[in-house]
A and B are shown apart, each in its own frame.
Chain A
Amino acid sequence: MSQKVLLSAKEIDIILHRLACQLIENHLDFSETVLMGIQPRGVYVAERLAKILQEHYDIKSLKLGYLDITFFRDDFRRGGKPLEANKTKIDFLVEDKKVVFIDDVLYTGRSIRAALTAIQSFGRPKEIELLTLIDRRFSRHLPIQPDYRGRQVDAINEEEVKVMWKEQEGEDKVYLINK
């Protein structure tokens, strides 16, 4: 197993600030917008972005939720082990709101397909956008593309893109791991 650093802590920080600015460009004061971290690992990206938006760009009324997609996935009973669920936390209405899905790595697009179904249980959003820190090009199984993209990478199927966070793994880094 070999691994290569795709993004350093500094690069991640710069990218997150750029993504935050792009979000502000489209959503201004976020009064009609909600950020939705996709469980489990999109939550860390969403929390960082929310922090940057609040602390650096003075966005006051930011709504942040966590969406678990486990029960909506299309690979239930297809893998070896059961799918383990995570917490969904949405303390606001998504009805008629602009929802921004936030995830760390966009790969096949199946998680986002599940998220599109899952969010309907909470109402009918006005529109849904997708933000992803890493976009793995040429690996999509479904016609799903991000609206906001941190970094596009070319990785073959045998490789894994792993996003590490200081809060969880002790460092901010993105690795390309060859299994």
Chain B
Amino acid sequence: MSELSVNHLLGIKYIKESDIQLIFETADQFKEVINRPIKKVPSLRDITIANLFFENSTRTRLSFELAEKRLSADVVNFSAAQSSVKKGETLIDTVNNILSMKVDMVVMRHPNPGAGVFLSKHIKASIVNAGDGAHEHPTQALLDSYSIREKLGDVAGKKVVIVGDILHSRVALSNIFALQMQGAQVKVCGPKTLIPKYIHSLGVEVEMDLRKALEWCDVANMLRVQNERMDISYFPSTREYTQLFGVNKKLLDSLDKEIVIMHPGPINRGVEITSDVADSKQAIILNQVENGVAIRMAVIYLLASKIKQ
């Protein structure tokens, strides 16, 4: 019997390939569970989980909450906007106060990179990073790889291009770690201003020409332009961005093979991909969302099994 090598899921770079495979195998079973007439199992009925969202989220938060509820865990939700954080409470104080109410696990999204790692050094509960600034978003990377595995049979040997705002994207970084760990090749494509300088040190090639990138790849993961994180103008206009880095149906149809289109959401329709691409057969965007619940159930289940009674 196997178990995870870690007590927290702080990022893909802290886990091993065998952990990823264990999470996928467990998620297979949970995917079957969430398609039953009664989509709930009682495994975590003695576990309480706090969802701490210091940054906005719809999909991830709902997905985590559903995953927790389908495992029968007790769930408390917290969002920074309506909390004492506004009154000047520190992160450790906030979390320790919540943990005093006998919480076993914390799912946290935070605008500062490394917030999860920092917290893990100061508190006892298991921590799942649901996104920390531009650092990591491990469950998104896991569900992306899982969706590729489901669609194409395997991740190893596949060619994946991540298109768009790499600089501000935690999804990109976690995906690069996860895909490389599983033996996939990764390229990034986007405006030069939105590609971090360190990217070569990760063993990732940069392709400036979207058509060439698409011709090379099996899977294109289209990222959203994160206007909310941009303090300066990184490209002249959205229109120009779309012309150079947006995928439309005409472009897709002109390729000599059928590639898989992914998007972590939320989509800016008409910017990074057009509506007809988002709704096409090649897009697995909604499968990603469904798989997200199964993956998060697997992560929470496996981490909870390491919490001592």
Instruction: Give A residues with C-beta under 8 Å from B.
Output: 68, 70-72, 76-78, 81-88, 117-118, 120-123
Contacts and interface: CB of A to CB of B under 8 A. Distances in A.
Contacts of A76: 43-44, 305
Contacts of B38: 120-122
B232 interface: no
B305 A72 contact: no
Q: Which 5 A-B pairs have the closest CB atoms?
A: A71-B41, A82-B305, A85-B29, A121-B38, A81-B1
B70 to A, nearest CB: 10
A84 B305 CA distance: 11
Contacts of B41: 71-72, 118, 121
B42 A72 contact: yes
Interface in B4-51: 25-26, 28-29, 32-33, 36-44, 46
Nearest to A81: B1
Contacts of A118: 41
B1 A77 contact: no
Given A71-B42, A82-B3, A83-B305, A122 B37 contact: yes
Contacts of A123: 37
A87 B29 contact: yes
A171 to B, nearest CB: 25
**Max chain A Cβ within 10 angstroms of own Cβ: one of B3, B43, B302, B308:** B43
A100 B42 CA distance: 23
Contact of A84 (B1, B32, B308): B1
B309 interface: yes
Highest count of chain B CB atoms <10 Å: which of A70, A77, A123:
A77
Contacts, number: 60
Given A71-B29, A72-B42, A84-B2, 14 more contacts: A71-B42, A71-B71, A76-B44, A77-B309, A82-B302, A82-B305, A85-B25, A85-B29, A87-B32, A88-B32, A117-B42, A120-B38, A122-B37, A122-B38
A123 B39 CA distance: 12
A76 B72 CA distance: 13
B29 A68 contact: yes
A81 B4 CA distance: 10
Contacts of B40: 121
B124 interface: no
21 contacts: A71-B33, A71-B41, A71-B42, A71-B71, A71-B301, A72-B41, A76-B305, A82-B1, A82-B2, A82-B302, A82-B305, A83-B305, A84-B2, A85-B25, A85-B29, A87-B28, A87-B29, A117-B42, A121-B40, A122-B36, A123-B37
B306 interface: yes
A102 B193 CA distance: 63
Q: Determine which residue in B32, B38, B41, B308 has the highest number of CB atoms from chain A within 10 A of its CB, and name it.
A: B41
B304 interface: yes
Contacts of A87: 28-29, 32
Contacts of A83: 1, 305
A81 B3 contact: yes
A131 B117 CA distance: 51
B202 to A, nearest CB: 32
Nearest to A82: B305
A86 B26 CA distance: 9
Contacts of B1: 81-84
B307 interface: yes
B71 to A, nearest CB: 8
Given A83-B305, A88-B29, A122-B37, A71 B3 contact: no
B3 A121 contact: no
A50 B301 CA distance: 34
A122 B38 CA distance: 7
A121 B37 contact: yes
Contacts of B26: 85
A121 B46 CA distance: 20
A70 B107 CA distance: 24
Interface in B137-160: none
Nearest to A114: B42
Contacts of B43: 71-72, 76
Interface centre among A71, A77, A83 (most CB of B within 10 A): A71
Contacts of A117: 42
Given A117-B42, A121-B40, A122-B36, A78 B309 contact: yes
